[in-house]
Chain A
Amino acid sequence: GQSLEQPSEVTAVEGAIVQINCTYQTSGFYGLSWYQQHDGGAPTFLSYNALDGLEETGRFSSFLSRSDSYGYLLLQELQMKDSASYFCAVREDYGQNFVFGPGTRLSVLP
């Protein structure tokens, strides 16, 4: 079967750095992507990793270790607007669907 795990909640202050972890168990692996979703809104694509290592996109970076079935999203210079839910998602193969993790609710405090 497929399963992804994420922490349910993370709290940090403005300007800080936060890391949201994701571990996965899937029968195949094409890549891991990350999405941000504000309450009542649509998920928005942030970043993805198909190969091991770090991908940097502005204040957001994502890391993948395929041997450990593990990835994380790193958010730097936190802003209040970063308060949202963050989902990791695995695609087992090209053409197949994305399986989402349970989501991590990030609260950024002033």
Chain B
Amino acid sequence: AAGVIQSPRHLIKEKRETATLKCYPIPRHDTVYWYQQGPGQDPQFLISFYEKMQSDKGSIPDRFSAQQFSDYHSELNMSSLELGDSALYFCASSPPRDRGMELHFGNGTRLTVT
């Protein structure tokens, strides 16, 4: 079965640089989420899209932005990177209605800011 695909798996950037993370949700899933997870921490919600429209916003810095495209893939853009942005970034998608409580995660992008 198809899973959520994220790229790249690993990314190393320097302070003040820009990064773009990509996510391809499971086909026919109607909601896409972005989470940030630091070492030993729970996933922190950043932003979500329902049917390509931004649906909810969490603790996402103003330096970050995201969008979902017509083919349903999503991108998280991160600018003016700081050391504290180093974390695992997960994209997840959920199916519609009856199975809407199932969150399916990609393998994540490990971002290291030096």
A positions within 8 Å CB-CB of B: 30-33, 35, 41-45, 48, 50, 87, 89, 91, 94-103
How distant is the Cα of A32 from the Cα of B50 in the complex, in angstroms?
A: 20
Q: Does B58 touch A at the CB level, under 8 Å?
A: yes
Cβ-closest 7 pairs across A and B: A48-B101, A42-B105, A31-B101, A100-B42, A97-B45, A97-B56, A33-B101
Minimum distance in angstroms from B37 CB to a CB of chain A: 9
User: Which A residues are CB-close (under 8 A) to B27?
Assistant: none
Q: Does B25 touch A at the CB level, under 8 Å?
A: no
Q: Is A95 a contact partner of B31 (Cβ separation < 8 A)?
A: yes
B side interface size, CB within 8 A: 23
Q: Does B24 touch A at the CB level, under 8 Å?
A: no
A-B interface contact total, Cβ < 8 Å? 57
B positions within 8 Å CB-CB of A: 31, 33, 42-45, 48, 50, 55-56, 58, 90, 92, 97, 100-108
27 A-B residue pairings within 8 Å (CB atoms)? A33-B101, A33-B103, A41-B107, A42-B90, A42-B106, A42-B107, A43-B92, A43-B105, A44-B105, A45-B102, A48-B102, A50-B101, A87-B43, A91-B101, A94-B100, A95-B55, A96-B48, A96-B55, A97-B33, A97-B58, A98-B33, A98-B45, A98-B103, A99-B45, A100-B42, A100-B45, A101-B42
Q: Is A30 a contact partner of B56 (Cβ separation < 8 A)?
A: no
